[in-house]
Structures are given as structure tokens and as C-alpha cells.
Amino acid sequence: MKITNIKDTEAFFKVIDSCTGKVELVTGEGDRLNLKSKLSQFVSLANIFNAEESIPELELIAYEPEDAKKLLEYMVSQ
């Protein structure tokens, strides 16, 4: 799933942390980072926010259907 225009990263990572299954960020090179890992969150944010004020687009994989639903609800509420 593609997520776009994340402005409140704190709220975004609260949703990620509330997920029960694995949630991965797919990088442009095809690598997958476990976003439930705080280290991966910090590394991904450091790279993404290097020149941006908001995250324009992310590709995420949520392995549990209820987690995908949470992420979609987050996007609708923005």
C-alpha cells in the first residue's frame, strides 16, 4: 500500500506501534525495513527527512488485515 503526505510522524508511528503484525517500509532499492523497530524508524526518518518537511510517499506492507485497516483509517483522518 502507498501512503502519501505524512505530516504528523508522531501520530503515524503511534499507529505503526499499535499494529499487531509486521509492518515494513519498502525502500526505493527494494529493501524492507521493519517499522515496528525503533531503530528502523529513526534510520528511515533520518533519510526521508533529510530534505523534506513531510513524507511525500511511502510504500508499506502490513501483514495483518486489521493493521492495513488501521493504516488506511489513519490516512483518511489526515
Q: Which domain holds residue 22?
A: 2-77
Per-residue pLDDT of the chain (78 residues; tens, 9 = 90+): 888 777 788 888 899 999 999 999 887 788 898 999 988 888 777 666 664 555 567 889 999 999 999 999 988 887
pTM: 0.76
Helix 9-18 and helix 38-48, axial crossing angle in degrees, nearest 10: 150
Three-class SS of residue 56?
strand
What are the cell numbers at 59?
A: 510504500
How many domains are contained in the chain? Answer: 1
